[in-house]
Structure 1
Amino acid sequence: MDLQLSGRVALVTGASKGIGLAVARTLAEEGAHVVAVSRTSGGELPGKAVHVAADLMDPQAPARAVARAVEEFGGLDILVNNAGGPPPGVSLPRVGFLTPDDAEWQKMFDFNLFSAVRAIRAAVPVMLNRGGGSIVNISSTMAVQPGAMNVDYAAAKAALNHVSKAVSEEYGPQGIRVNTVSAGPVLTDWWTKKGGAAEIIAGFAGADRDSVIAQVAPEMMRLVTGRLVDPQEIADAVALLASPRSGSTTGADFLVDGGARKEM
Structure 2
Amino acid sequence: MDLQLSGRVAIVTGASKGIGLAVARTLAEEGAHVVAVSRTRTDELPDKVVHVSADLMDPQAPERIVERAVEEFGGVDILVNNAGGPPPGVVLPRAGFLTPDDADWAAMFEFNLFSPVRMIRAAIPLMLERGGGAIVNVSSTMAKQPGPINVDYGAAKMALLAAGKSLSEEYAPQGIRVNTVSPGATLTDWWTKPGGAAEVFGSLVGSDRDSVITEVAPTMMKLATGRLVHPQEVADAIVLLASPRSGSTTGAEYVVDGGQLKEI
1:127 aligns with 2:99: no
SS at match of 2:120: helix
Q: Distance in 2 between matches of 1:141 and 1:31?
A: 30
For 1:47-196, list aligned pairs within 5 A. 47-196=47-196
Aligned pair count reads: 264
Per mean C-alpha deviation after superposition, the further-off stretch among 61-70 and 193-202 is: 61-70
Shift, 1:43, TM fit: 4.0
Q: Over residues 142-178 of structure 1, what are the superposed CA-to-partner deviations in whole Å (9 max), with x where a residue is unaligned?
A: 1111111100000000000011001100000000000
Per mean C-alpha deviation after superposition, the further-off stretch among 6-15 and 42-51 is: 42-51
Shift, 1:47, TM fit: 3.1
The alignment's TM-score, normalised by the length of structure 1, stands at 0.99
Whether the aligned pair in 2 keeps the contact of 1:21 and 1:43 (CA below 8 Å) is: no
Corresponding position of 1:17 = 17
Q: Over residues 4-49 of structure 1, what are the superposed CA-to-partner deviations in whole Å (9 max), with x where a residue is unaligned?
A: 0000000000000000000000000000000000000124211331
Whether the aligned pair in 2 keeps the contact of 1:32 and 1:48 (CA below 8 Å) is: no
Shift, 1:191, TM fit: 0.3
Superposed CA RMSD in Å reads 0.6
Q: Over residues 212-254 of structure 1, what are the superposed CA-to-partner deviations in whole Å (9 max), with x where a residue is unaligned?
A: 0000000000000000000000110011000000000000000
Q: Distance in 1 between matches of 2:62 and 2:231?
A: 23
Give the gaps of 5 or more residues in structure 2. none
Shift, 1:64, TM fit: 1.0
Q: Distance in 1 between matches of 2:40 and 2:224?
A: 35
For 1:224-243, list aligned pairs within 5 A. 224-243=224-243
Corresponding position of 1:204 = 204
Q: Distance in 2 between matches of 1:57 and 1:113?
A: 11
SS at match of 2:139: strand
AA aligned to 2:184 is G
Q: Distance in 1 between matches of 2:191 and 2:43?
A: 17
Q: Distance in 2 between matches of 1:93 and 1:251?
A: 29
Give the gaps of 5 or more residues in structure 1. none
AA aligned to 1:230 is H
Corresponding position of 2:255 = 255
Q: Distance in 2 between matches of 1:144 and 1:228?
A: 18
AA aligned to 1:23 is V
For 1:26-45, list aligned pairs within 5 A. 26-45=26-45
AA aligned to 1:116 is P
Whether the aligned pair in 2 keeps the contact of 1:17 and 1:43 (CA below 8 Å) is: no
Q: Over residues 182-223 of structure 1, what are the superposed CA-to-partner deviations in whole Å (9 max), with x where a residue is unaligned?
A: 000000010001110000000011100000000000000000
AA aligned to 1:196 is G
Q: Distance in 2 between matches of 1:42 and 1:249?
A: 32
Whether the aligned pair in 2 keeps the contact of 1:228 and 1:258 (CA below 8 Å) is: yes
Q: Over residues 56-83 of structure 1, what are the superposed CA-to-partner deviations in whole Å (9 max), with x where a residue is unaligned?
A: 0001111211111111100000000000
Corresponding position of 1:219 = 219
- After superposing on structure 2, the runs of 4+ consecutive aligned residues of structure 1 that deviate more than 2 Å are none
Q: Distance in 2 between matches of 1:72 and 1:168?
A: 28
Per mean C-alpha deviation after superposition, the further-off stretch among 153-162 and 34-43 is: 34-43
Corresponding position of 1:246 = 246
AA aligned to 2:41 is S
